[in-house]
Amino acid sequence: MFELVVLDSALRMATPLILASLGGLFSERSGVVNIALEGILLTGAFASILATYYTGDPWVGVAAGIFAGILVSLIHAAVTVIFKADQIVSGVAINLLAAGATQFLTWITWGSSSNSPPVGGMARWSLPEAWGPVARSINVVIGHYPPLVYVALVAVAVAHVVLWHTPFGLRLRATGEHPAAVDALGVSVRKMRFAGVLLSGALAGLGGAFLALNTHQFVKNMSAGRGYIALAAMIFGKWNPVGAALACLLFGYAEAVQMGLQGQHVPSQFVQMIPYVLTMVALVGVIGRARPPAALGKPY
Amino acid sequence: MNSPRASDTATRVRGLAGTGKIVDVLAPLVAVLAAFLVGGLVVAAIGESPLKFYSTLFRGAFANADSVGLVLFNATPLIFAGLAVAFAFRAGLFNIGGEGQLYIGSFACTWVALQLPGAPRVLLIPVLILASAVGGGLWAAIPGYLKARFGVHEVINTIMMNFIAVGLTSYLVIAIFKEAGQMTPQTATIPIAGELPRLAYFFQSLGVPLPAANPLNASFLIALAAVWLAWFILHRTTLGYEIRAVGHNASAAEYAGINVRRTLVLAMVLSGAFAGLVATNEVMGFRHRFLDNFSSGIGFMGIAVALLGRNSPLGVLFAALLFGVLNTGALEVDVFTDVPRELILVVQAVTIILVVVGNEIVQRRRGRGAALTPRSEAASIDRDGSAEVS
Amino acid sequence: MPEHNAVEMRGVTKRYPRVLACDRVDLDVRRGEIHAIIGENGAGKSTLMKILYGMVRPDEGSIRLNGNLLVGHGPSDSIKLGLGMVHQHFMLIDPFTVAENVVLGIEPVRAGLFVDGRAARERVERLSSEYGLALDPDERIENLSVGLEQRAEIVKVLYRGADILILDEPTGVLTPQEVSELFLILRSLRKSGRTIIFITHKLNEVIELADRVTVMRDGRVTGTVSAAETTPEELARMMVGRDVLLRVERGETTPGEAVLEVSELSAIGRKGTHVLDHVSLRIRSGEIVGIAGVQGNGQTELVDVIAGLRPASSGQVVLSGSDITNRRPRVIRDMGVAHVPEDRQARGLVPEFTVAENLVLGHHHRAEYSRRGLTNVAKIEEHARELIAEHDLRPADPSVSASHLSGGNQQKLIVAREFDGDPALLIASQPTRGVDIGAIEFVHTSILKMRDAGAAVLLVSAELSEIMTLSDRIAVMYGGRIVAEFEGGTVTEEDLGRYMTGAASDSGGQDAAGGAA
Amino acid sequence: RESTPSQGTDTFKVGMVFDVGGKGDKSFNDSAYRGLLRIADDFEIEHTEFEPGQDADRETGLRKLAQAGFDVIIGVGFLFSDSMRSVAVDYPDARFACVDFDARPDEQLPDNLAGLIFREEEGSFLVGVIAGLKSETGRLGFIGGMDVPLIHRFEAGYIAGARYADPAVSVTVGYAGSTPQAFADPAKGKELALLQYGRGVDVIYHASGNTGIGVIEAARETRNLAIGVDSNQNYMAPGYVLTSMVKRVDNAVYAVVLAALENRFEGGVQELGLAEDGVGYAMDDYNAGLITEAMIEMVEAARVKIIAGEIEVPRE
Ligand SMILES: Nc1ncnc2c1ncn2[C@@H]1O[C@H](COP(=O)(O)OP(=O)(O)OP(=O)(O)O)[C@@H](O)[C@H]1O
Ligand SMILES: Nc1ncnc2c1ncn2[C@@H]1O[C@H](COP(=O)(O)OP(=O)(O)OP(=O)(O)O)[C@@H](O)[C@H]1O
Ligand SMILES: [Mg+2]
Ligand SMILES: [Mg+2]
């Protein structure tokens, strides 16, 4: 169970979850529930393949994934922050929209509403071999995972620093706790919430890009509930970047173990349920100590 | 006793309140039309004729008795799923778990049917309806209890339980109950005595040429009854009174001696029971067995339906019919035009967004009014346990 | 050129959907003065200040700050112009530290990117020592007492360099000791040249602290006077709009059997402290016991525990001989306890329900209205028609939603419901808060009628005059305890005030124990 | 959708309804679609295809096509079996074919319904032989889509073939899931494959539709070998796809439509194995360098023996 391959697999499985849950974190810290993560992942996945398909450059695909994520989250921000509509309803609608729109566009682009043709993926990072043995041993480290895995890990650290050590983070968290107080201090609640939701779109879009580029293809509904799992991981991680990332790793690990256990007569359905059951148990046990942002879900 | 300015205010307020009813009906209609317009623009953008698109869509839904029968058939599960969401809304709960509840309800229905091979029709049918409701209700009771007891938000838990329900039923079907000698992941068929009759013969006897093959079945009638029942529970029973009180103002309900926690759990159970009744259509009425993964999002569509129906049972009925039209027409569009059905999903999503946004705009102009969505604030319970003395 | 006033508001008007919160208000605040604004609940004081601060847009009117006309300004503009506000409901972020709360929005930065925590801490320390506002910058707000929270709010304002400070009802939640400390701080701020606008509805505070006073009533300014030249009586007249406070005649009463017996009752609050601390109290039938006290001294908790809405940690509540401690609210109601709750919007009504539905709230499960789980719609409507006629509720339509009723009529609805059906014990919490004189009179006579009909009445009110007018006996609560008990009419407002502020707690504590035995 | 049928014309009309994964899966559905395109090229035929959205649409969709006067209606995938049975009875004038029909033992089909069944285990046996011969580590992998008996047949044949070539090989088996989605989850396919390769497997045979795209990707990434399925997938990662077990759904579709065109359509279950050229393995320029003459000789010998009945290929 602790084989390297399983751990590797866990990390890769966790990567889109980590990115999406960091996204959820920024949104929820600003006080906006973001169930739309699922749809954003999906849209990011689609956009990244579309762009890669036409440009041949997966990094353009990554940019497109981020951009698409921001675009979708813009809808969420507008509906919930400007029009102050219910955040969960908006999220549900956006997920529906994303499912329909990505399939529709897949059909328009490639004539199949279920998947795109394969595209070239992202090359592993590496220094030129010619640089000698040092470069080669560095390559062993930085070339071990797809590049976005490292990006995700760095994003965790950056998110932590941003949330806890910058004025932006302080204001963002304050907005999620007590928007009226933030307003009274002359900081625009609307701007902070937009920032939180759009950042969430960018990160989840990036997660979608990883999901698709790592499989070299867009497949309909390929987010397959990962947005919800990311949300659960975020709660599980008590709305902290490091906690959320650890929870994602745990979920990724559960999935990897489930695959690793195959052929050993553990019904796969049960292993697949682990993250969900874990989340429910954790919510009962953890939520008492972990406090969601006080103004979460409340329009201001 | 009123100063002039007070009566000014009163007239203004009263004026708006008077138009309230019309606005309530008009706003979703306008949203639907606007969403259609968006859909039409998209169709035009890909170089197809919106006119042909919509004429095909509506031909698919209204061409003949068969089409209309399909609309009603497609609307039936959405009515149940919509009622489930709307009912929970009334208690201030957001039940996103319709999908899981309908799976468990359907499985419970099938399982009970398979246990009673020789049971007579008069017994089996009510028992199976009950089993469906109980299955869905019990599944919903878990997040309801966790909410009431530990204050865990039902949204997350119902989502989690959707995944669990799919996995659990999948396991049960594939590993234990799969029909022998078949590769399709489905159970054996339920006894014929447990099948709900199709409505074709009934309609034919009324002179409506509904073909015998049309899948519309008695579950539709159960759905109509459920609409009435949901209304009746909410507005004619003490429990309904308490559910609405809790949904509107939990602390007033608590003050009034209503056991808020118990009411929340009960509301959730009833909500889940409505979702479970989807089994009457899918299992008893149509497939006559449990097919793994059959739903493809009926429970989620229920959210949209409830929303569009403004969380009133009658509204749910109309919204489900609208979605039934769209889904039925979508197939026609898919088969007979170059526009893929996915566009219909987009139209549905845009409808929801426009409905919520439109509602907020109307509310804002009116100053205040009935909330469209549950006031999660009101129904949230402190862990300190101030909601109940135990 | 004459020196500008610090604040000049002219013709400021703000309409809310159902009220005119400010009606062509003019206000002048001179530089360097402490200017009090007084008025009854709902007079529009907070709204006026929020308009000044830029959190609420006025519909009409102009505002000048130090002579500069403000147009469409927001809080950030006000802060830049040196205006700071301590809100009636504190604007503090619980899980943040004091320092974080203070610097939020204008954070000192390090390396151009990161919040400089040390600088923040130092600034807070400097400001607190400068004005004698002892505060630990690293303490989280959630661990502070209300008094300290208020200090954090003041430091927040000072950190922003405010020279005009608005304090919205700063004393309502403070202990007397904290109040006098606050006054010291405010005076030292005035000495440093700052202008202070101070909202309250406590007349003696005004006389003690303020230079000038503006009185508001019903959204309008009824006058501005110099504190040195006015009396509480004059201020009261300006506040209420007529000469003497309305007093209903309280006839003699002969109390009967004990209905409510509370002994050694305690309850624990959110922060683990005793919000009720061994309270003992007895009310007999035909007797009104009034509880006086500064808000937040356990009155709400006492009522909630008796009504079953909050668990008691120890002690006993006995109603007509049976123990109802920690029973469910429904059981307690069914045993004959009626309860007019403190906050009618949050507790007493389901605003979305119709008048008829609200008129059975809490009784809806009783046999008259509910048969085998089904509601008796006809009976509920009939009941509503009776009560509407009896209490002159307007509009006289049982099917109108309660949210469409005026505040006064909402309160009448609750009174009508709770007074119906001969309760043994009537709990009336702030029964006249925010209602106009006519409704006050109605409520007061109704309470007395109940008493005369043999009910035991527990009256909780922030209005001392109300307590003094109605109560046969008066208990004073302070810090979760009953610190004194008096026979009605044997005590002056000043005496009560001393007990309420804890100034005379010791002897009072003895009294209370004796009186309850 | 290349040519949209107008209702009521006299041209011969063929409708195809796809399985989960849909058109463009480079595998099963595409194989069927290729057959349709080919016959549409050869004859004047109108055709339409779609993928059902919700489960009930499978049956309704078939019905709509029948009502619209389609001459041949093809359901791609065993999930259509139930619906086919009832729709075929209701529309005796249309002819129906169901690929991978889920036949019940001794089932009597209506005259207008052809159930097309492939003996996948036979083709799988052959690629198993190739894998067994090719593997250097002696460890083979199998990745199935949905954990169902149909896919178990691929697994059983493959394992038997591998053992036939090298009795010492071990085979690691993984399935992507238990729902139809398991055929459309390349992300999962890739991770499953990476796990197996990571554990020393050097050839993986996938029978997982779209999911297999991830398997082949993993082979390319780790420089191991994969074996494609249904369609010839050798081109997808040249040098890393050892061969493909082709299931000639295209041929079967072509043949069924042709029979209908020529008015000799026959109902009933049709089993297509090695003997009927219904299954096989793919050789082309992409994998020529991977497979030696000697290997081909052995495989061809096995093919002859299977057809002759000398080798009994297990189905489970
Ligand atoms: N956001 C709002 N929406 C609607 N009505 C409001 C709003 N804010 C205040 N009001 C109403 O405006 C009136 C004046 O309220 P305001 O808070 O200014 O009173 P106040 O004098 O501060 O009273 P208190 O002494 O109780 O604090 C009240 O009737 C109140 O209900
Ligand atoms: N939306 C509405 N629909 C119908 N009638 C309304 C509505 N809003 C207010 N009214 C009625 O208009 C009248 C004036 O309301 P308002 O709140 O100004 O009363 P008020 O003068 O403050 O009365 P009170 O002294 O009882 O508080 C009330 O009698 C109320 O019943
Ligand atoms: Mg105020
Ligand atoms: Mg009023």
Name the nearest CA neighbour of D49 among C296, B334, C120, C31. B334
CA distance D294 to C20: 97
* Chain C stretch 130-169, residues whose beta carbon is closer than 8 A to a beta carbon of chain A: 156, 160
Which pLDDT score, from 0 to 100, does residue A285 have?
75
Residue D283 vs residues A248, B88, D124, D220: alpha-carbon distances, Å: 43, 60, 15, 19
> Residue B239's closest chain C neighbor by CA?
C373
Q: Whose C-alpha lies nearest to ligand 2, atom 23?
A: C406
Peptide bond into A167 cis (omega under 30): no
Which other chains touch chain D, taking contact as 3+ CB pairs less than 8 Å apart?
Answer: A, B
Nearest CA in chain C to A184: C75
pLDDT at D79: 86
- Say yes or no for a CB contact (<8 Å) between D177 and A216: no
- Interface test with chain A among D139, D179, D192, D195, by most A beta carbons within 10 Å: D195
For residue C409, the ligand 2 atom closest to its alpha carbon is 26
| C46-84 pLDDT, tens digit each | 899 999 999 889 999 999 998 889 888 888 889 889 999
For residue C196, list its beta bridge partners: C34, C165
- Work out the burial of residue C244: count CB atoms within 10 Å of its CB; fewer than 13 is exposed, 13-18 middle, 19 or more buried: exposed
SS3 call for C509:
helix
Angle C312-C313-C315 from CA coordinates, rounded to 5° = 75
Cβ separation B1–C438 shorter than 8 A: yes
Residue A118 has a pLDDT of 84
Dist. CA C40–CA C241, nearest whole Å = 11
B75 within domain boundaries: yes
pLDDT score, position B2? 37
Q: Give the SS3 label for residue C496.
A: helix
Task: Please give the distance of CA D196 from its chain centroid, rounded to a whole number.
Answer: 23
The span from the CA of B203 to the CA of B213, in Å, is 13
Whether residue B1 lies inside any domain: the answer is no
**Treating both helix axes as pointing N-terminal to C-terminal, what angle do C437-452 and C407-419 enclose, rounded to 10 degrees?**
10
Paired tokens of A102? 């990505």
Is residue B285 one of the residues assigned to a domain? yes
CB contact under 8 A, D56 and B74: yes
- Give the number of other Cβ atoms within 10 Å of residue A4's Cβ: 10
CA of B10 to the centre of ligand 2 (A): 6
**Residue C237 CA, ligand 3 centroid: distance in Å:** 20
Mean pLDDT of C396-404: 88
Q: Which two tokens stand for residue C383?
A: 């009941």
Q: How many domains does chain B fold into? A: 1
Cα–Cα distance, C79 to C96 (Å, whole number): 21
What Rg value do the Cα atoms of chain C yield, rounded?
25
Query: Which atom of ligand 2 lies nearest, measured to the CA of B18?
Result: 3
> Structural domains in chain C?
5-240 (3.40.50.300), 256-335+472-517 (3.40.50.300)
Enumerate the β-bridge partners of residue C110.
Answer: C114
Q: Smallest Cα–Cα separation from B98: which of B158, B46, B56?
A: B158
Ligand 2 pocket, CB under 6 A: B 2, 6, 9-10, 13-14, 17; C 18, 394-395, 404-409, 436
Q: What sign for the dihedral angle of Cα D21, D24, D30, D34?
A: positive
Give pLDDT, residue D99.
Answer: 94
| Alpha helices (runs of H) in C131-212, residue ranges in sequence order | 146-159, 176-191, 203-209
For ligand 2, atom 26, which residue shows the shortest CA distance? C408
In sequence order, what DSSP letters do the residues of C397-432 get, joined into one string? -TTSBGGGS-HHHHHHHHHHHHHTT--SEEEEESTT
CA of C200 to the centre of ligand 3 (A): 9
Beta bridge partners of D50: D17
Span from the CA of C251 to the centroid of ligand 3 (angstroms): 35
Alpha-carbon distance B70 to nearest alpha carbon in chain D (angstroms):
8
Closest ligand 1 atom number to CA of residue C216: 21
How many CB pairs below 8 A link A and B?
136
Compute CA distances C339 → B189, B249, B342, C322, C333, whole Å: 59, 17, 57, 18, 8
Rounded average pLDDT per 10-residue block, chain D, 316 residues = 48 88 76 93 90 82 90 92 90 93 87 94 96 95 86 94 94 84 84 91 93 91 93 91 94 94 92 92 93 94 94 89
Instruction: Note whether D70 and D286 are within 8 A (CB).
Output: no
Residue C506: count other Cβ atoms within 10 Å of its Cβ. Answer: 10
Q: What are C82-116's pLDDT values in tens digits?
A: 999 998 778 899 899 999 999 999 899 988 889 99
pLDDT for the residue A289: 53
| Burial (CB count within 10 angstroms: exposed 0-12, middle 13-18, buried 19+), residue C140 | middle
Q: How far is CA C372 from CA B91, B240, B257, in A?
A: 21, 13, 18
Q: Locate the domains of chain A by residue range.
A: 15-122+145-231
Contact C349, C359 (CB under 8 A): no
In angstroms, what separates the C-alpha of A50 from chain C's closest C-alpha? 36
pLDDT at C245 exceeding the cut of 60: no
In a domain, B335, yes or no: yes
Residue C461's pLDDT band (boundaries 50, 70, 90)? confident
Query: Where does the pLDDT of residue C516 fall: very low under 50, low under 70, confident under 90, or very high at 90 and above?
Result: very low
CB contact under 8 A, C92 and A187: no
Q: Do B71 and B61 form a contact (C-beta atoms < 8 A)? A: yes
Residue D15's beta-bridge partner residues? D48, D73
**Chain D: residue whose CA lies nearest to B330:** D53
pLDDT at residue C435, rounded to an integer = 67
Pocket of ligand 1 (CB under 6 A): C 16, 19, 21, 39, 41-47, 88, 201
- Going by beta carbons, is chain C in contact with chain B, meaning 3 or more pairs sit under 8 Å apart? yes
Distance CA B126, CA B193 (A): 11
Nearest in space to C14 (alpha carbons), one of C64, C69, C66, C54:
C54
> D238: left (phi > 0), else alpha (psi -120 to 50), else beta?
beta
Asked if the C-beta of A183 comes within 8 angstroms of chain C's C-beta atoms, the answer is: yes
- The edge-to-edge listing of strands for the beta sheet with D268-272 is D45-50, D12-17, D72-76, D95-99, D113-118, D268-272
Give CA–CA dist C18/C351, Å, rounded: 14
What separation in Å is there between the alpha carbon of C244 and the centre of ligand 2? 27
Note whether residue B256 is domain-resident: yes
- Pairing mode, strands D113-118 and D72-76: unpaired
Write the burial class of residue D167 (CB in 10 Å: 0-12 exposed, 13-18 middle, 19+ buried): exposed
Burial of B370 (0-12, 13-18, 19+ CB in 10 A): middle
Contact check, Cβ <8 Å, A88/B96: yes
What is the mean pLDDT, run by run of 10 residues, along chain B of 390 residues? Answer: 35 36 74 88 88 91 92 97 96 93 98 95 97 98 93 85 91 86 85 95 91 92 98 96 94 93 96 98 94 87 86 94 91 82 84 83 60 37 32
* Low-confidence stretches of chain A (pLDDT beneath 50): none
* 8 A C-beta contact, residue B101 and residue B299: yes
Q: Provide the pLDDT for residue C408.
A: 75
Q: Which protein residue's CA is at the shortest distance from atom 3 of ligand 1? A: C16
Q: Return the partners of chain A (3 or more C-beta pairs < 8 Å).
A: B, C, D
Distance C218 CA to ligand 3 centre (A): 13
Residue A2 confidence (pLDDT): 64
Give the domain range for residue B38.
6-383
- Residue of D1, D82, D104 with shortest CB distance to B338: D1
Residue D138 structure tokens: 């002696």
At CB < 8 Å, which residues of chain D contact A?
Answer: 1, 20-26, 51, 147, 172-175, 177-178, 181, 184-192, 194-195, 198-199, 210, 213-214, 217, 221, 236
Choose among D25, D21, D31, D82: nearest CA to D52. D21
**SS3 labels along chain B:** CCCHHHHHHHHHHHHHHHHHHHHHHHHHHHHHHHHHHHHHHHHHHCCCCHHHHHHHHHHHHHCCHHHHHHHHHHHHHHHHHHHHHHHHHHCCCCCCCHHHHHHHHHHHHHHHHHHCCCCCHHHHHHHHHHHHHHHHHHHHHHHHHHHHHHCCCHHHHHHHHHHHHHHHHHHHHHHHHECCCCCCCEECCCCHHHCCCECHHHHHHCCCCCCCCCCCECHHHHHHHHHHHHHHHHHHEHHHHHHHHHHHCHHHHHHCCCCHHHHHHHHHHHHHHHHHCHHHHHHHHHHCCCECCCCCCHHHHHHHHHHHCCCCHHHHHHHHHHHHHHHHHHHHHHHHCCCCCHHHHHHHHHHHHHHHHHHHHHHHHHCCCCCCCCCHHHHCCCCCCCCCCC
Banded model confidence at residue C508, pLDDT cuts 50, 70, 90: very low
Max Cα-Cα span within chain D? 62
Does the beta-carbon distance from C104 to A170 stay under 8 Å? yes
In-domain check, residue B178: yes
* Chains touching C, CB cut-off 8 Å, 3+ pairs: A, B
Do C and D touch, 3+ Cβ pairs within 8 Å? The answer is no
Where is pLDDT greater, at B37 or C513? B37
Contact between residue C33 and residue C165 where contact means Cβ atoms under 8 Å apart: no
**ipTM higher than the 0.85 cut:** no
Q: How far apart are CA C512 and CA C474, in angstroms?
A: 10
Q: Are strands C220-226 and C212-217 parallel, antiparallel or unpaired?
A: antiparallel
Contact predicate D276/D116, CB 8 Å: no
Q: Are chains B and D in touch, 3+ Cβ pairs below 8 Å?
A: yes
Which ranges of C257-320 does DSSP label H, i.e. alpha helix?
Answer: 299-307
Would you call B213 and D149 a contact, using CB atoms and an 8 Å cutoff? no
Long-range CB pairs of D219-228 (<8 Å, 24+ gap) are D219/D193, D221/A121, D221/D194, D222/D194, D222/D197, D222/D198, D224/D197, D225/D131, D225/D134, D225/D290, D226/D193, D227/D127, D227/D130, D227/D131, D227/D203, D228/D27, D228/D282
- Answer whether C17's CB lies under 8 Å from B8's CB: no
CA max distance for chain A:
61
Closest CA relative to residue A260, chosen from D199, D224, C158, D26: D199
Q: What is the CATH number of the domain that holds B201?
A: 1.10.3470
